[in-house]
Each structure stands twice: as C-alpha cells, then as structure tokens.
C-alpha cells in the first residue's frame, strides 16, 4: 500500500513510517520542511524500504491543494492510507497563552487534518477503498492543565472523525483516531522541560508524577505499538471500525 504520513520528519511520524516500511509498504514521508522528511525517507531506503519525501505544510492551503500533483511527480500511484500525524505543543496557562500561537496549534492539528483529508479523500472514494487515521492523544479524551490549545485540537479530531465516518459509510473507507499516552519523542522531551517550568518541579518529577503516574502500567508507549495498531486498522479485519477512538493509555481511563 501507499501510505502518506504528515509530520513524519521526526518523532511518532518517523517511527510509524519506518515501521510500516519494514512491513513492505511504500511510505510518503511529509513534513513542513523537506530536509527532515528526506532524511527519514533516505534512512528507510538505506534499509531496503520504499519511501518518498515531500515538503507539505498542512497549514498552507496552496501546498495541500498541490499535493496530488506532487505525488504524481514522485511516481506515487495514489495514496491508499493517510496518517494525519503533524502536531506541536505549547504549555501555558490560558491567561498568558498568546492567541496567535493558540490558533496555530489548532490550525496544524485540526484544520490541517481536515485539509489533508479533503485533498486525498476524492481519490480514495474513486478507488472505492481507503484508510484514514489521525494520531490523536490521551488528550483527545481527557484534559490537562496548561494545554488548552492542544487538548481542544485533539478533542476536535474525535468529532471530525465521526462526521467523515458517516460521510464515507457508503464506500470501504474508514477514519479513526489513535489516542496514545506519552511516547518518548523530542516533542515529549520539550513538554517535560515546559511542564517542569510551569509546575516548578524537576523534569524527573514531571515524568513520574504527571506523565506516567496516571498510567497503571507506568511505561511510555512505543513506536512498535503504534505501528501495529495502524497496520491493524489497515487490515480487512478492521473494515467496520470507523469513527472510533483507539485509546492506548496503559489503563489511564479505566480508573
């Protein structure tokens, strides 16, 4: 299958890209900047996988609109699976949260997701098959202080998925949101520093008392777990799973 992943120049997107390429899929690695996307794609190719790199800023409508042409130029025969992963974080009390930054987070993680889905959905519909996955978060289902923009955007993915699930119910297309707790990535490392500053505690205390304490299993989520979940959602066994949240939280919401 041809799989396009946004925000795949690092972190979760890069990890899933590498994992799915190892399973024999062709991966289109996209990022707002070409260099990190190409670095991930080249690493995949060095290991014998098939990968292409494209620069796509999901907040730039002109770039999103030109995506199909870019794919044709890259000799990618359509996109079977879209994984909307692009994301960023900013930790701040709402009173001091700059609204331009607040809006940017929502634009990347929610509006950008809608734009990418809108761009690639017609081809999937024409083929009669497609899989769309959003990389949400535990914050798609719960809240945390100082993360108002992130939580609002990630919650929004849930409602968006339900609507598009209904709009695509007449064809073999599914759309779901994968909601992991913390995955040890550069983004999470930044959050640890920011949370330590916001709460006035050490970085290790952030890990122990804020990130992992709510999880009875007490461990970070791995790229392998997320890759496996995406692979399952692509399979025929998951053709009737749509509009759902796949919560990967180590028991967080079971309490």
Determine the pLDDT at residue 209.
Answer: 87
Question: In the structure encoding, which two tokens stand for residue 195, read together?
Answer: 């949370």
Residues 121, 79: contact at Cβ < 8 Å?
no
| Distance from C-alpha of 178 to C-alpha of 79, rounded to nearest angstrom | 19
- Of 146, 150, 220, 252, which is the active-site residue? 150
Q: Which domains does the chain have, with CATH numbers?
A: 2-181+221-250 (3.40.50.720)
Residues 146, 195: contact at Cβ < 8 Å?
yes
Per-residue pLDDT of the chain (255 residues; tens, 9 = 90+): 999 999 999 999 999 999 999 999 999 999 999 999 999 999 999 999 999 999 999 999 999 999 988 898 887 888 999 999 999 999 899 999 999 999 999 999 999 999 999 999 999 999 999 999 999 999 999 999 999 999 999 999 999 999 999 999 999 999 999 999 999 887 788 878 888 988 899 999 998 888 899 999 999 999 999 999 999 999 999 999 999 999 999 999 999
Question: In angstroms, what CA-CA distances link 110 with 22, 159, 237?
Answer: 29, 10, 28
Active-site residue flag, 150: yes
Residues 248, 181: contact at Cβ < 8 Å?
yes
| Distance from C-alpha of 148 to C-alpha of 146, rounded to nearest angstrom | 6
Strands (E), the chain: 2-5, 26-31, 50-55, 81-84, 129-135, 172-180, 245-248
Question: In angstroms, what CA-CA distances link 144 with 135, 138, 233?
Answer: 18, 10, 28
Determine the pLDDT at residue 199.
Answer: 86
């Amino acid at each position: 299958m041809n799989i396009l992943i946004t925000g795949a120049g690092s972190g979760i997107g890069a990890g899933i890209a590498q994992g799915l390429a190892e399973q024999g899929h062709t991966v289109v690695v996209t990022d707002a900047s070409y260099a990190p996307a190409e670095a991930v794609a080249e690493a995949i190719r060095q290991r014998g996988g098939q990968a292409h790199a494209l620069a796509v800023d999901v907040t730039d409508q002109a770039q999103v609109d030109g995506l199909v042409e870019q794919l044709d130029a890259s000799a990618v025969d359509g996109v079977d699976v879209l994984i909307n992963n692009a994301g960023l974080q900013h930790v701040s009390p709402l009173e001091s949260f700059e609204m331009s930054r607040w809006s940017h987070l929502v634009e990347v993680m929610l509006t950008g997701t809608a734009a990418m889905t809108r761009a690639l959905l017609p081809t999937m519909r024409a083929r009669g098959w497609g899989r769309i996955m959003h990389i949400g978060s535990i914050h798609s289902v719960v809240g945390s202080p100082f993360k108002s923009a992130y939580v609002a955007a990630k919650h929004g993915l849930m409602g968006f998925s339900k609507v598009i699930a209904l709009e695509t119910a007449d064809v073999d297309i599914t759309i779901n949101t994968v909601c992991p707790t913390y995955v040890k990535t550069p983004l999470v490392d930044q959050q640890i520093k920011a949370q330590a500053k916001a709460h006035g505690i050490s970085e290790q205390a952030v890990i122990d008392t804020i990130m992992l304490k709510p999880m009875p299993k007490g461990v970070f989520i791995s790229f392998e777990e997320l890759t496996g979940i995406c692979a399952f959602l692509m399979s025929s066994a998951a053709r009737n799973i749509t509009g759902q949240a796949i919560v990967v939280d180590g028991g967080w919401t079971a309490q």
